[in-house]
């Protein structure tokens, strides 16, 4: 079987860890697999390189910045190939343009268009482990590009798809995907499996285990992805296509996004074109709007509320303030202290009453709901940030996600 193993920055954070990764690659090889290792830069390296580009230029050109930041992965692939050789194995490193991973020309956030992979296949054919630089590619003109922060995940999944790999393992510093952030909810449980759709929803609301693009890629090309720790033998969590059994679980996880801010426009004229005049300038200012709620009209006026990323609040408020003035809106209120809690599960498609249950649970804790939005497999409530952790824990318990308490005492 062909196995793609991706190792993140902490897994290759120092030479001892790189040696450990080399042993893991060799163990898979010894089991008879063809092994492709996709590697990130050593922990902290990409940040250090980015800082250098900002230190030398206030507004660094994206093409040149990519040339600099991609070197992190060049170092780690070379070191891993050497570590494998030092342990008696055979390995060849490949940079993005050598693979070759062709992307568009959107520097710093390039998208993969195609992967050739002949050189990887040739190396595997000779019994070597192929060590591939994550995060980088080349555009049609031969310019070096990078895929955005966390992009090595996407490299790994795309390489697995292109080579028809039997498995794609993402080694990271957590041992899998959890029902909630264990730092917020001590009763959180590691999931054995999770559907692509659920992972996308959890990722987009703040569970940052995998780069979102990599999950989209995996879903599109049906690549099963296993998230696991490079520091243990735990099988981790399989991110895969939805299975019938998954629907019996109504809620698979609770996500929390603290990076939210709310803007409310009071008494907006209820005439065609108003929403466009508010949201167009926001889009032009590159403000991403998340939830939008518009009330029923009261005497030709209505309230309009939406959320944006907290870092964008001041900019968004300024843009909206200008538009609101021109439209005769009565007032603009902002609130930077809100959080979004979401319950996610493919089982919601076939079970009713999930929203009602969520609202009851929040009410029982005395938590006021400021905004609600739903999708087929997710219900989100915006609440005051000071209740965020309480809400996650209460929902986690109410939807039966709490881990069974380990035996209080007794030997193993
Ligand atoms: N080294 C890159 C980053 O830190 C890519 C990755 O780690 O996935 O974003
Ligand atoms: Mg990562």
User: How high is the pLDDT of residue 408?
Assistant: 44
Residue 203 has pLDDT above 80, yes or no: no
Q: Which of 169-178, 210-219, 382-391 has the highest mean pLDDT?
A: 382-391
Residue 55 CA to ligand 2 centre (angstroms): 24
Q: What does pTM read for this prediction? A: 0.88
Question: Considering all CA atoms of the chain, what is the largest pairwise distance in Å, rounded to the nearest integer?
Answer: 79
Mean pLDDT throughout 304-333? Answer: 93
Q: How far is CA 91 from CA 1, 34, 140, 167, 372, in A?
A: 18, 11, 28, 19, 52
In ligand 1, the atom with minimum distance to the C-alpha of 151 is: 8
Determine whether the shortest distance from the Cβ of 134 to ligand 1 is under 6 A: yes
Mean pLDDT throughout 387-405? Answer: 94
pLDDT 10s digits, 9-60 = 999 999 999 999 999 999 999 999 999 999 999 999 999 999 999 999 999 9
DSSP string computed for 246-299: GGGSS--EEEEEEEEEEEEEEEEE-STTHHHHHHHHHHHTTPPEEEEEEPPPBT
Dihedral sign, Cα of residue 412, residue 189, residue 43, residue 310: negative
Whether residue 24 sits in one domain with residue 130? yes
Whether residue 7 sits in one domain with residue 130? yes
Residue 386 in domain: yes
Binned at pLDDT 50, 70 and 90, residue 188 comes out as very high
Write out the two tokens for 375.
């999708």
Determine whether the shortest distance from the Cβ of 150 to ligand 1 is under 6 A: yes
Write out the two tokens for 244.
């019938």
Q: Which residue has the tokens 């492709």?
A: 36
Residue 239 in domain: no
Dihedral sign, Cα of residue 364, residue 365, residue 370, residue 375: negative
pLDDT 10s digits, 229-264 = 988 899 999 999 998 888 788 999 999 999 899 999
CATH no. for residue 326? 3.30.2130.10
- Residue numbers of the domain that contains 272: 254-398
Residue ID of nearest Cα to ligand 1 atom 8 = 150
Residue 245 in domain: no
Whether residue 301 sits in one domain with residue 168? no
pLDDT 10s digits, 348-392 = 998 899 999 999 999 999 999 999 999 999 999 999 999 999 999
Whether residue 277 sits in one domain with residue 136? no
Strands 378-384 vs 331-344: parallel, antiparallel or unpaired: antiparallel
User: How high is the pLDDT of residue 205?
Assistant: 65
Determine whether the shortest distance from the Cβ of 40 to ligand 1 is under 6 A: yes
Q: Which of 151-160, 250-259, 290-299 has the highest mean pLDDT?
A: 151-160
Q: What is the number of the ligand closest to the CA of 171?
A: 2
User: How high is the pLDDT of residue 165?
Assistant: 96
Determine whether the shortest distance from the Cβ of 2 to ligand 1 is under 6 A: no
Determine whether the shortest distance from the Cβ of 152 to ligand 1 is under 6 A: yes
Binned at pLDDT 50, 70 and 90, residue 314 comes out as very high
Substitution candidate for ligand 1 out of 7, 8, 151 with most atoms within 8 A of CB: 151
Residue 206 has pLDDT above 80, yes or no: no
Determine whether the shortest distance from the Cβ of 345 to ligand 1 is under 6 A: no
Ion ligand 2 residue ranges (Cβ < 5 Å): 8, 150
**Mean of the per-residue pLDDT values for the chain?**
93
Residue 406 has pLDDT above 80, yes or no: no
Determine whether the shortest distance from the Cβ of 13 to ligand 1 is under 6 A: no
- Rounded Cα gap, residues 183 and 186, in angstroms: 6
In ligand 1, the atom with minimum distance to the C-alpha of 72 is: 1
Determine whether the shortest distance from the Cβ of 135 to ligand 1 is under 6 A: yes
Whether residue 262 sits in one domain with residue 166? no
Whether residue 270 sits in one domain with residue 165? no
Tell me which of 115, 140, 172 is where a domain ends. Answer: 172
Residue 207 CA to ligand 1 centre (angstroms): 16
Residue 376 CA to ligand 2 centre (angstroms): 28
- Rounded Cα gap, residues 202 and 344, in angstroms: 7
Query: How many C-beta atoms surround the C-beta of residue 111 within 10 A?
Result: 16
Residue ID of nearest Cα to ligand 1 atom 5 = 150
User: How high is the pLDDT of residue 230?
Assistant: 85
Residue 403 in domain: no
Residue 41 in domain: yes
Residue ID of nearest Cα to ligand 1 atom 6 = 150
- Rounded Cα gap, residues 260 and 308, in angstroms: 6
Whether residue 259 sits in one domain with residue 385? yes
User: How high is the pLDDT of residue 243?
Assistant: 85
pLDDT 10s digits, 337-351 = 999 999 999 999 988
**What total number of domains does the chain contain?**
2
Whether residue 141 sits in one domain with residue 42? yes
Residue 330 CA to ligand 1 centre (angstroms): 46
Tell me which of 172, 191, 212 is where a domain ends. Answer: 172
CATH no. for residue 90? 3.40.1160.10
Residue 342 in domain: yes
pLDDT 10s digits, 55-108 = 999 999 999 999 999 999 999 999 999 999 999 999 999 999 999 999 999 999
Determine whether the shortest distance from the Cβ of 7 to ligand 1 is under 6 A: no
Whether residue 279 sits in one domain with residue 378? yes
Residue 364 in domain: yes
Residue 186 CA to ligand 2 centre (angstroms): 23
pLDDT 10s digits, 102-136 = 999 999 999 999 999 999 999 999 999 999 999 99
Q: What is the number of the ligand closest to the CA of 38?
A: 1
Residue 317 CA to ligand 2 centre (angstroms): 32
Residue 382 in domain: yes
Whether residue 155 sits in one domain with residue 16? yes
Strand runs labelled E in 26-105: 34-39, 91-94, 101-103
Residue 269 has pLDDT above 70, yes or no: yes
Residue 410 has pLDDT above 70, yes or no: no
Whether residue 158 sits in one domain with residue 16? yes
Determine whether the shortest distance from the Cβ of 72 to ligand 1 is under 6 A: yes
Whether residue 268 sits in one domain with residue 127? no
Residue 153 CA to ligand 2 centre (angstroms): 7
Tell me which of 155, 172, 189 is where a domain ends. Answer: 172
């Amino acid at each position: 079987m062909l196995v793609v193993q991706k190792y993140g920055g902490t897994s290759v954070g120092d030479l001892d860890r790189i040696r450990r990764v080399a042993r893991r690659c060799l163990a898979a090889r010894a089991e008879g697999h063809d092994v492709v290792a996709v590697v990130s830069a050593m922990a902290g390296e990409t940040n250090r390189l980015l800082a250098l580009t900002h230190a030398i230029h206030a507004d660094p050109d994206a093409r040149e910045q990519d040339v600099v930041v991609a070197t992190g992965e060049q170092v780690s692939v070379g070191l891993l190939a050497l570590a494998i050789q030092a342990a008696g194995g055979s390995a060849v490193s490949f940079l993005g343009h050598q693979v070759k991973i062709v992307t568009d020309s959107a520097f710093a956030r390039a998208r993969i268009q195609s992967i050739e992979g002949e050189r990887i296949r040739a190396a595997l054919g000779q019994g070597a482990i192929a060590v591939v630089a994550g995060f980088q590619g080349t555009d049609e003109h031969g310019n070096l590009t990078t895929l955005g922060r966390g992009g090595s995940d996407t490299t790994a999944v795309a390489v697995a798809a292109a080579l028809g790999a039997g498995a794609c393992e993402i080694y990271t510093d957590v041992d899998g995907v959890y029902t909630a952030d264990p730092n917020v909810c001590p009763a959180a449980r590691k999931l054995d499996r999770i559907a692509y759709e659920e992972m996308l929803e959890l990722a987009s609301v703040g569970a940052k285990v995998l780069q979102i693009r990599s999950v989209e890629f995996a879903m599109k090309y049906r690549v099963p992805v296993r998230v696991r720790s490079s520091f243990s033998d735990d099988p981790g969590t399989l991110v895969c296509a939805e299975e019938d059994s998954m629907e019996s679980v109504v809620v698979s996880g609770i996500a929390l996004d603290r990076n939210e801010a709310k803007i409310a426009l009071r008494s907006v004229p209820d005439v065609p074109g108003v929403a466009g005049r508010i949201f167009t300038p926001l889009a032009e200012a590159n403000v991403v709007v998340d939830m939008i709620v518009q009330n029923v009209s009261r005497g030709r006026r209505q309230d309009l509320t939406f959320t944006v990323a907290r870092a964008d609040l001041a900019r968004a408020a300024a843009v909206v303030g200008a538009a609101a003035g021109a439209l005769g809106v009565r007032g603009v209120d902002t609130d930077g202290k809100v959080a979004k809690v979401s319950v996610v599960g493919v089982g919601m498609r076939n079970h009713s009453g999930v929203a009602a249950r969520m609202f009851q649970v929040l009410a029982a804790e005395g938590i006021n709901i400021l905004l609600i939005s739903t999708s087929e497999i997710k219900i989100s409530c915006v609440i005051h940030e000071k209740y965020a952790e309480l809400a996650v824990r209460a929902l986690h318990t109410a939807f039966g996600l709490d881990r069974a308490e380990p035996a209080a005492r007794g030997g193993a």
